[in-house]
Amino acid sequence: MRITSIPHIYRNFRRWTEIISVLSRYGLADWISRLNIDFVKDQLKDRDGEALARHSTEKRIRLALTDLGPTFIKLGQLLSTRPDVVGGTLAQELSLLQADVPADPPDVVRDLVESELGQPIDELFAEFEDVPVASASIGQVHRARLKTGELVVVKVQHADIENTVREDLDVLAGLAILAERVPEFAHYRPSSTVAEMGRILRRELDFGREERNLQLFLTRFANDPTIRIPVPHTELCTARVLTMERIDGIKLTERTRLQAEGFDLEEIARRGARLYLDMIFTDGFYHADPHPGNIVLLAGNRIGLLDFGMVGRVEESLREGIEGMLLAITQRDVVLLTTLIKRMGDVPPGLDERALSVDLAEFVGDYANQPLNQFDLSGALGEMTDIIHRHQIMLPPQAALLLKTLITLEGTTKLLSPAISLLELLQPLHRRIVWRRISPQRQIRKLLRIFMEVEHLAEILPRRMTDILEQVQAGKFDVHLEHRGLEPSVNRIVLGLLTSALFLGSAVLLSSEVPPLLFPVNTYLGFHRISLLGLTGSALSVILGLRVLRAIYKSGHLDRHD
């Protein structure tokens, strides 16, 4: 541990203690669960009074994150989008996390709004409800009415949430560094995962980003009367306050009410699914949280989208990779699917490519024969993600978010119409995807990028070569070598040299009869006066010599010729 980290740990000591206490409490139940003593198992209980030891490990993780507060709840929700990192079972459990955060008092909310917008609330709004309609991990939502009579919702950030998030992220970074040293957690890449989640969480603290997302989607669907996006009121928006149009519709979970009011659920499901597929595979910019709570239906079969805090962006190469993976599954092309996964993901050094190909072949065999109109896309993507996780391949964050969005989208679509399959709806896009790949415009753009890279290389290569030659001529050219796996050999060499020196020195002590001396009754090997130091050194050198021989024997390199 570095000395410079001591103030950091001391500053967050209280939070460290609280986090370790909660983690220990839920981890202790794992040991108790192995006992066959029922009355012991029932001693530690969760908030609902259920015994912790009787819960699965995944559920205990979810409960621990809930107890640790808003930052950890949000972290768990973000990890639920990364089944390639945490595994499908844990990701599914973390998707159940609900941020039941107590709302800030009305006076605190009013003070924050007034300080951010620079005016008293009574001058900004004709009505402002002090009781929020929802309170999540980052902020809470209040209904209001503007002076012009428009109905709006005001999203207000929780007081002091920035300091809480900063402190928790500092502690998480420290825990991640410790977890890197534990073999069971090392392959999860804790430090990089926490860093990625921290970047996402800090972006969500900026409500200005959500406002810009709303503006982009409003521009995208300006000419589509079937889609409704909330209009933000820019003059009433800051980094901590977001004021936008209120859209009152019927939630997708109210199926009976939707049918009673005459909504064509199958048509809405098809149109909504095509809407998302177009956003993903055509625009490369999509609403990344299509669960039923973020979609409402309005009169005239119009679809209203809510909550643009999580938006995904897909670059061209990633989009082509996802398209190729879906096509490889339907065409039973295991080689292509394996190649695409290795190309898209961060592959570990010791990847067993043969085992990966076997797993993917079995996976493709299970799903390739399903009819398109009955294809279980969410099941296929979930199982493929489990295979990726099992082989410790880490996908880019954008790819993991896109796969999670497709899985959520199919679940939402089937909520309205169980007979619809996303893969069937993707087929009309297939021709467009193929044409886009072979289109002259794309090839020209690709050649232009290659030309620019070659041109840049041609510009810098002579200068870099000249710099290298000048360093060689001046004697300043350094070559840095990194040795791997030499530590045990070096240690054995050093120990052998020390053993030899100790034996030779001890032999000199014995022959010179250096005191203190032993006077045995009988003469041994010509010695009638034995140096105690020489005898001790000789015995120790023999022990160390045997230790070196044993280490060489165990390494298996004693007689091997390469």
Q: What is the pLDDT of residues 427-452, one digit of tens each?
A: 776 666 667 667 777 778 778 888 88
192-216 pLDDT tens trace: 878 887 888 888 888 999 999 999 9
Cα 396 to Cα 84: distance, rounded to the nearest angstrom: 10
Residue 520's domain comprises 487-555
Q: How many CB atoms lie within 10 A of CB 65?
A: 22
Domain end marker among 476, 503, 532: 476
Which contacts of 158-161 are long-range, i.e. CB under 8 A and separated by 24 or more positions? 158/70, 158/101, 158/104, 159/104, 159/108, 159/112, 161/70, 161/205
Cα 76 to Cα 351: distance, rounded to the nearest angstrom: 28
Query: Does residue 319 sit in the same domain as residue 411?
Result: yes
244 pLDDT tier (thresholds 50, 70, 90): very high
Instruction: Please determine, for residue 155, whether its predicted confidence score (pLDDT) is greater than 50.
Output: yes
Query: Does residue 468 sit in the same domain as residue 510?
Result: no
Query: Does residue 170 sit in the same domain as residue 316?
Result: no
Question: Considering the domain boundaries, does residue 280 fall inside one?
Answer: no
Cα 260 to Cα 236: distance, rounded to the nearest angstrom: 38
How crowded is the C-beta side of 330, counted as CA atoms within 13 Å?
Answer: 18
Question: Considering the domain boundaries, does residue 482 fall inside one?
Answer: no
In Å, how far are 189, 343, 385 from 394, measured between CA atoms? Answer: 9, 11, 10
Query: Does residue 316 sit in the same domain as residue 350?
Result: yes
Domain end marker among 417, 448, 476: 476
Query: Does residue 182 sit in the same domain as residue 35?
Result: yes
CATH of the domain at 227: 3.30.200.20
Question: Considering the domain boundaries, does residue 268 fall inside one?
Answer: no
16-75 pLDDT tens trace: 777 777 776 666 444 444 444 444 444 455 555 555 555 677 777 888 887 777 778 777
Instruction: Please determine, for residue 151, whether its predicted confidence score (pLDDT) is greater than 50.
Output: yes
> Pick the residue with more confidence: 3 or 297?
297
Question: Considering the domain boundaries, does residue 500 fall inside one?
Answer: yes
SS3 146: strand
Instruction: Please determine, for residue 494, whether its predicted confidence score (pLDDT) is greater than 70.
Output: yes
Q: What is the percentage of the chain residues whose pLDDT exceeds 90?
A: 13
Query: Does residue 47 sit in the same domain as residue 136?
Result: no
**Residue 242: strand pairing partners:** 155
Question: Considering the domain boundaries, does residue 45 fall inside one?
Answer: yes
In Å, how far are 194, 434, 479 from 430, measured between CA atoms? Answer: 37, 6, 51
Instruction: Please determine, for residue 416, whether its predicted confidence score (pLDDT) is greater than 90.
Output: no
Instruction: Please determine, for residue 11, whether its predicted confidence score (pLDDT) is greater than 60.
Output: no
What the block records as the tokens of 494 is 């050093």
Contact 52, 63 (CB under 8 A): yes
Under DSSP, the state recorded for 485 is S
Instruction: Please determine, for residue 152, whether its predicted confidence score (pLDDT) is greater than 90.
Output: yes
pLDDT of residue 190: 78
Cα 147 to Cα 233: distance, rounded to the nearest angstrom: 13
What global pTM score does this model have?
0.69
**Residue 153: strand pairing partners:** 143, 244
Q: What mean pLDDT value characterizes the chain?
A: 79
Instruction: Please determine, for residue 102, whether its predicted confidence score (pLDDT) is greater than 70.
Output: yes
Checking DSSP bridges between strand 250-251 and strand 285-287, what pairing results, if any? unpaired
pLDDT of residue 71: 75
Least confident of 49-58, 97-106, 168-177, 354-363: 49-58
Query: Does residue 430 sit in the same domain as residue 344?
Result: yes
Instruction: Please determine, for residue 526, whether its predicted confidence score (pLDDT) is greater than 50.
Output: yes
Query: Does residue 396 sit in the same domain as residue 496?
Result: no
Instruction: Please determine, for residue 12, whether its predicted confidence score (pLDDT) is greater than 70.
Output: no
Question: Considering the domain boundaries, does residue 67 fall inside one?
Answer: yes
Q: Can the peptide bond before residue 70 be classed as cis, meaning omega within 30 degrees of 0? A: no
Query: What is the number of domains present in the chain?
Result: 5
pLDDT of residue 519: 66
Question: Considering the domain boundaries, does residue 561 fall inside one?
Answer: no
> Pick the residue with more confidence: 145 or 67?
145
316-368 pLDDT tens trace: 788 878 878 877 877 778 888 888 888 888 888 778 888 888 888 888 887 76
98 pLDDT tier (thresholds 50, 70, 90): low
Query: Does residue 189 sit in the same domain as residue 77?
Result: yes
Cα 506 to Cα 519: distance, rounded to the nearest angstrom: 18
Query: Does residue 82 sit in the same domain as residue 114?
Result: no
In Å, how far are 189, 378, 506, 513, 532 from 519, measured between CA atoms? Answer: 64, 86, 18, 11, 10
Amino acid identity of residue 424, one-letter, is E
Question: Considering the domain boundaries, does residue 409 fall inside one?
Answer: yes
391-410 pLDDT tens trace: 888 888 888 888 888 888 88
What the block records as the tokens of 425 is 């709806």
pLDDT of residue 559: 53
The values of phi and psi at residue 378, to 5°, are -65, -40
Query: Does residue 226 sit in the same domain as residue 355?
Result: no
What the block records as the tokens of 375 is 């294809």
Angle between helices 161-180 and 190-204 (to 10 degrees): 170
SS3 525: coil
Query: Does residue 492 sit in the same domain as residue 378?
Result: no
Domain end marker among 145, 175, 200: 200
